[in-house]
């Protein structure tokens, strides 16, 4: 998998999830919000 197309904030949220700083639910909430914001910006 390449990380070229992954938003830096998504990587940060994934790291927080792996470290146990946020729950799976919080990770998915943030990732979804980021996806909506990104698609609105580029859509």
Q: What's the pLDDT tens digit per position in 8-39? A: 888 999 999 999 999 999 999 998 888 877 66
pLDDT band at 42; cut points 50, 70, 90: low
Residue 1 within a domain: no
Domain count, the chain: 1
Task: Report pLDDT for 2.
Answer: 55
Spacing of C-alpha 21 from chain mean position: 14
Q: Is the pLDDT higher at 2 or at 4?
A: 4
**Could you tell me if residue 2 is inside a domain?**
no
Domain range for residue 16? 8-42
Neighbours of 35 (CB within 10 A): 12
Phi-psi region of 2 (alpha: psi -120 to 50; beta: other; left: phi over 0): beta
Confidence at residue 26, expressed as pLDDT on a 0 to 100 scale: 96
Looking at per-residue pLDDT, the higher value among 10 and 42 belongs to 10
Domain annotation covers residue 3:
no
């Amino acid at each position: 998998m390449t990380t070229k197309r992954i938003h830096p904030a998504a990587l940060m949220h994934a790291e927080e999830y792996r470290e146990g700083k946020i729950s799976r639910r919080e990770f998915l909430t943030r990732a979804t919000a980021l996806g909506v914001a990104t698609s609105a910006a580029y859509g």
